Structure 1
Amino acid sequence: MKRLVLGLMLLTISLTILTSCKFNEEVVIIQKNEISFWYGLEGVLGDYVEILIEDFNRSQDDVIVVGHRQGNYTETFNSLEIAIATNMPPSVALLEQRDIISLIKRDALSVLSDSIVDTEDIPDQFLQMFTQDDYMYSLPMYATVWITYMRNDFIDELEDGKDIYSFQELMKVLSERRKISDDESLVFEIINDDTTLINAVMSNGGEFISSDYKEVLIDKPEWIEVWEEFRKWIHEDELIRYYDKNLGWDNYYEVINDVKSGRAIGCISSVSDMDIFSDEEVTPMLHLGWEEGISAPVTYAIGLVIPRNVDEEDKEAASRWIEYLMSPEVSAKWVKLSGYLPGNLNAYETQLFKEYAESNERINVSRNQLSYTSPPYYDPTGGKINEAIIEAAEKLINDNIPAEIVLNEAKAKAQKELDKIERE
């Protein structure tokens, strides 16, 4: 059967060539440039990326994008490092901002053309992060930020429709309710403990590192005050429930399930979780601030890069793929699918987004939060400062160790790594 099929194919090709020659027609074979795209998104988000890839491949005749899913952002970065070292990199990769900055410092990325997108449409904090010596090395496909989710039945019981804007206000309400009813569901929950602690510190005026990049500042009063208060709320007052971070994704699912089932009154989580909760269950709102400080969570960009050792033809094709992803229309489509913040602010002006926002007003919460954020910080140590912060948060939350102790230890460890950079 295989021989019969092959014979028919060869006969067809031969007749086509003979016919073309007979009428002096030129046989033109269109050859598309195939490029690879690595991204660390699984599940539904990974499926959404595949939709964008299929749409792009159908939209033009010159480039074919072949997607390669990785387990997560970290796996993508680790695989990319090996691929660059062995001179076999993908044409385009999607990475977290800290990994992008690390590759920029190592001169491992290609410079992106200003013609890909109007840079005035890109949020300044991301553009600055991905630019060095006036050269742009990445563009943010999207960004994430953390917001507050509160159960509607809890909000409905607030006196006189009072709004809650700060952690202190929320803890006061929970404490007063507990005196009346010893209800275990009168508890707030957090996901990614270190992220929530950091975001509260930003609202309190804290900083990661000095402007000259010579001193780590995580042992300052703005940090200690916030972290110690959280330790008390968790371990002494038991107003905040936590799950051991070693549980990994199970930590996340436990918190989400607690809020959905009413075992908790709310939580702090990513803007992309908005569609997990129904309108009847939960109301999304701006990230809680600290005392009188405004909401100021850190925004984290997920950027597109082209490795330096990609050949010129593939770089050109890769640029076209990035240009497609960064267009207002596609950026708006990604926002609608994923719930993340757009890398191109003009996405908000598209008809697609406006129609979506009319039928889903909650999406405007994420847009409003973008106006109340802290820029991501640059870690000259390649992530060592961040590692020290994460370790300190785990000790405070899991082991109930006072904030001053864990932050002083983290400062010493991080400062040692920063001093190494100074000596090099």
Structure 2
Amino acid sequence: MRKKMAMLLAMVTLVTTAGCGGSGEGGNSSAKTDNGNEGTNGAVEIEFWYGLGGILGETMEETIAEFNASQDEVVVKGVVQSSYDETSKMLQAAVASGEVPACYLGTHQTATTFAEKGVVEYLDDYIAADPDFDKDDIIDAFLDYCRDDEGHVYSLPAWGTTQVVYYRKDMFEEVGLDPDEVFATWQNVADAARKLQEHYSDVDDFFGFEPMSGMDCLMDMAYSNGASIVSEDGKTVTFNSDKFVEALETARQWINEEKIMGIHFGGDGWEYWYKTIDDVMQGRAGGYVGSSGDQGDLDFDIIAAHVQPGFNDHEPNPYVDPIAMAIVKKAPEEEKQAAFKWLTYLNTVGTKEFSMKTGYVPVRSSVKEDEEYKAYLEENPQALIPIEQAEIGRKKWVDPTGKVEQALSDACDLIEIENVPAKEALDEAAEIAQQALDEYWAAQ
């Protein structure tokens, strides 16, 4: 999760504030007093570090200001970093110095690492003490990223992302395609792509469908065929299993032999991603797989969204992942209590605001019953699709070695770009990955 997030971050110039006590964002005018944590009218002031820009940054500033105006117990002071990575680095330095913020926003991978190192506070006691906090309302696929193997919660999801299908409504209508039938299985998508390609044969460089290049889309196809990257115990590489090979070999044939599907790759940064979007927007493709966060770039007068297909007779099994927020363990207790109130607000009210303004996925199921959000969905029905997909989605496997996914990613490039048979590419990658996995477990 996160490609669209990276695009947004790359496209804007971020305001950077280094360290605790720098000028922050968020519409809050209170200053720290001599005791360092008491703001206007006795409210507890806390620092919240985040690395966002563009519409995401603007929305965060608005949300902080709205929270501060909604109550008089906590004043949040937003401190803007240049990115998620920068926030992580600054936080590590702050922990070492002892001058820490109360809470921060970052990737779920960072939160997991910090939990393992004892940097962030576990939230179970805070949740148990708050009768209004409904943990069951958080979509499981997002909460799974925020708790350990024993179910203890160390972070909260703020919003999420997943890759959904976007397609041209006008083209489907012209060719007589039922989107629910087409997107029931990847095999049906291929059939529809053939029909679209034949119908629009006079359009230069037209493809019936464009799966997004790279590892994520292919992984969703493989998992939706009942495959997995590793065994349940995490010790054996399984991405060269028959089901995995079948899914990726089929994709290779559609892209490189039948040429009913096309991909963009290479270029500068996220150039390939925007070229894919442009093909659909400009009538050079019937649809594509992209981020839930793409919705701000699409014209839904001609485009609609749909949940990803399954593969063969299997149900869809797409990944979902969240942006997470956590409380810093070294912060004073009263600041941690205040931070929990703010993070709860961001996890409930804020997740709705970010969904409506940015296209990302709200992390609570109850958002769909909110009257304001229901009105938003009336005008933007495509926004419901990522939520529906999140409720059936899976948690991404986290590579403890840093080498397994790299080997698999390289194999995916060989299959999609170099037209290497999937069995050959995956077998070679599996040898590299298994060695890395064996070395990791031997060191535990």
TM-score, with structure 1 as normaliser: 0.84
Q: Label 1:247 to 1:78 Cα distance change in 2 as closer, same or farther (>3 A).
A: farther
Which range moves more in the overlay, 67-76 or 240-249? 67-76
Match of 2:366 in 1: 346
In structure 2, stretches of 5+ residues that fail to align are: 1-38
Match of 1:394 in 2: 413
Q: Is the 8 A contact 2:182 2:192 kept in 1?
A: no
* SS of aligned partner of 1:295: coil
Q: Label 1:297 to 1:259 Cα distance change in 2 as closer, same or farther (>3 A).
A: same
Q: Is the 8 A contact 1:148 1:287 kept in 2?
A: yes
1:138 corresponds to 2:155? yes
1:49-198 alignment, distance < 5 Å: 49-112=60-123, 113-114=126-127, 115=129, 117-132=133-148, 133-159=150-176, 161=178, 163-165=181-183, 166-179=185-198, 181=201, 183=203, 184-191=205-212, 193-198=214-219
1:413 corresponds to 2:432? yes
Task: Using the TM superposition, give the Cα deviation of residue 269 of structure 1 relative to its aligned residue in structure 2, in angstroms.
Answer: 0.8
Give the Cα separation in 1 of the matches to 2:290 and 2:64. 28
Task: Using the TM superposition, give the Cα deviation of residue 89 of structure 1 relative to its aligned residue in structure 2, in angstroms.
Answer: 4.0
CA deviations on 1:21-41 (whole Å, 9 max, x unpaired) are: xxxxxxx97354432223333
Q: Label 1:267 to 1:313 Cα distance change in 2 as closer, same or farther (>3 A).
A: same
Give the Cα separation in 2 of the matches to 1:250 and 1:399. 20
1:272 to 293, 307, 320: 293
In structure 1, stretches of 5+ residues that fail to align are: 1-27
1:282 corresponds to 2:334? no
CA deviations on 1:184-206 (whole Å, 9 max, x unpaired) are: 22342233521100111111001
Q: Label 1:65 to 1:412 Cα distance change in 2 as closer, same or farther (>3 A).
A: farther
Give the Cα separation in 1 of the matches to 2:246 and 2:145. 29
Give the Cα separation in 2 of the matches to 1:49 and 1:154. 38
Instruction: Flag the structure with higher helix content.
Output: 1
Q: Is the 8 A contact 1:245 1:394 kept in 2?
A: no
Q: Label 1:216 to 1:99 Cα distance change in 2 as closer, same or farther (>3 A).
A: farther
1:374 to 394, 418, 427: 394
Q: Label 1:418 to 1:311 Cα distance change in 2 as closer, same or farther (>3 A).
A: farther
CA deviations on 1:339-370 (whole Å, 9 max, x unpaired) are: 22222222222222122222322222223223
* SS of aligned partner of 1:93: strand
Give the Cα separation in 2 of the matches to 1:86 and 1:306. 17
Task: Using the TM superposition, give the Cα deviation of residue 176 of structure 1 relative to its aligned residue in structure 2, in angstroms.
Answer: 4.4
* SS of aligned partner of 2:246: helix
Give the Cα separation in 1 of the matches to 2:337 and 2:307. 40
In the comparison of the two structures, how many residue pairs are matched?
395
1:214 corresponds to 2:221? no
Q: Is the 8 A contact 1:213 1:380 kept in 2?
A: no
% identical equivalent positions: 29
Q: Is the 8 A contact 1:331 1:342 kept in 2?
A: yes
Task: Using the TM superposition, give the Cα deviation of residue 246 of structure 1 relative to its aligned residue in structure 2, in angstroms.
Answer: 5.2
* SS of aligned partner of 2:77: strand
1:13-52 alignment, distance < 5 Å: 30-52=41-63
- Which residue identity does 1:286 align to in structure 2? V
Q: Label 1:412 to 1:88 Cα distance change in 2 as closer, same or farther (>3 A).
A: farther
Q: Is the 8 A contact 2:115 2:154 kept in 1?
A: yes
Task: Using the TM superposition, give the Cα deviation of residue 272 of structure 1 relative to its aligned residue in structure 2, in angstroms.
Answer: 2.3
CA deviations on 1:310-350 (whole Å, 9 max, x unpaired) are: 332322221121021123x4332332222222222222222
CA deviations on 1:384-404 (whole Å, 9 max, x unpaired) are: 433333333233333333322
* SS of aligned partner of 2:236: coil
Give the Cα separation in 2 of the matches to 1:93 and 1:391. 33
Match of 1:294 in 2: 315
Task: Using the TM superposition, give the Cα deviation of residue 148 of structure 1 relative to its aligned residue in structure 2, in angstroms.
Answer: 0.4
CA deviations on 1:213-233 (whole Å, 9 max, x unpaired) are: 221221212221111222222
Q: Label 1:40 to 1:413 Cα distance change in 2 as closer, same or farther (>3 A).
A: farther
- Which residue identity does 2:60 align to in structure 1? V
* SS of aligned partner of 2:105: strand
1:315 to 319, 322, 336: 336
- Which residue identity does 2:235 align to in structure 1? K
CA RMSD of aligned residues (A): 2.6
CA deviations on 1:99-133 (whole Å, 9 max, x unpaired) are: 32222223322111214522111222333432234
Q: Label 1:204 to 1:316 Cα distance change in 2 as closer, same or farther (>3 A).
A: same
Give the Cα separation in 2 of the matches to 1:217 and 1:276. 37
Give the Cα separation in 2 of the matches to 1:204 and 1:414. 21
* SS of aligned partner of 2:314: coil
Q: Label 1:349 to 1:265 Cα distance change in 2 as closer, same or farther (>3 A).
A: same
Q: Is the 8 A contact 1:193 1:393 kept in 2?
A: yes
Task: Using the TM superposition, give the Cα deviation of residue 158 of structure 1 relative to its aligned residue in structure 2, in angstroms.
Answer: 3.0
Give the Cα separation in 2 of the matches to 1:380 and 1:300. 17
* SS of aligned partner of 2:394: coil
Q: Is the 8 A contact 1:228 1:404 kept in 2?
A: yes
1:260 corresponds to 2:281? yes
- Which residue identity does 1:408 align to in structure 2? D
| Structure label with greater radius of gyration | 1
TM-score, with structure 2 as normaliser: 0.81
Give the Cα separation in 2 of the matches to 1:69 and 1:405. 47
